[in-house]
Amino acid sequence: MSESTAMAQRPADAKLPTIAVLGGSGREGGGLAFRWAHAGYPVVIGSRDPARAVTAAAALNDELNRAALSAVSLNDELNRAVPGGVHSDPAPAPAGRADAPATRPLATQHHAVVGTSQREAAAAAEIVVFAVPYSAQMPLADEVADLLAGKIVVDVTVPLVPPRVDRVQLPAGGSAVQALQDRLGQAVRVISAFQNISATHLRDPHYVIDCDVLVCGDDADARQVVIDLAAAAGLAAWHAGPLANSVATEALTSLLIAINKRYKVPASGIRITGVPGRDARKA
């Protein structure tokens, strides 16, 4: 995949929803926030310590500005090298994945990321991402529950139990994300996604992440919204069925950690194969 197809965006005239990343000062949350902001989404990061969120947002904005300048410089070089300039028409939508948005050149403009408290971030957004450790998942849910009705909540939680994080240790109910849905109630559409994506390369906008996103949820429309978010972050994503199936994606993370340790790699991943058009999508 070329640099120009590493990120996806909606048409320029479409209003993008605001995304709140709660836990956005951490590596995983910060990496996802970076990719979405780079793709043009308004992003607010929340933290238990608002000052920490402000500092993290400032660091993200510095990186985003550098990435934008780099993209402009590269486009200028290509325009000088290619007669007639570089075409910016969107590439075809990836085959093999329903309703996949078309990919477009990397963004050179972005909204400034804002840092604030968890509650203020959740109140400001249409889509709220939980990117906190398992031990903080339910306390966070209780803190912001009254602000989530009618919204999509994307839960990245993995029930890791230190120090044996390379061993599957699921909670008594099976899925940590299903437990979140039960806690928040049906007025909130909870979607499970991104548990298997390593934070290692998320803040490099030109790096193609070699791992698919499995998206589980009981609302198919909400799943599609999250699949579109994954595409905006340069990730291939798949409808993986109801929220109950999240138990498998949560467990997979410990397997990947074990593989990372055994083979001394930072970011092993998974790919879905056997779907018609998969090879064309990878071209």
Question: 3-95+105-269 in CATH: which number?
Answer: 3.40.50.720
pTM here is 0.82
Residue 132 buriedness (CB in 10 A; 0-12 / 13-18 / 19+) = buried
pLDDT for the residue 166? 94
- Return the pLDDT at 100: 38
Question: Mean pLDDT of successive 10-residue segments in the chain (283 residues)?
Answer: 36 78 96 96 97 97 88 56 52 38 45 95 98 97 98 96 92 92 97 97 93 98 98 95 97 96 96 75 39
Domain boundaries defined on the chain: 3-95+105-269
Long-range CB pairs of 216-221 (<8 Å, 24+ gap) are 216/177, 216/191, 216/192, 216/240, 216/241, 216/242, 216/243, 216/244, 216/245, 216/246, 216/249, 217/189, 217/190, 217/191, 217/192, 217/242, 217/243, 218/181, 218/189, 218/242, 218/243, 219/189, 219/191
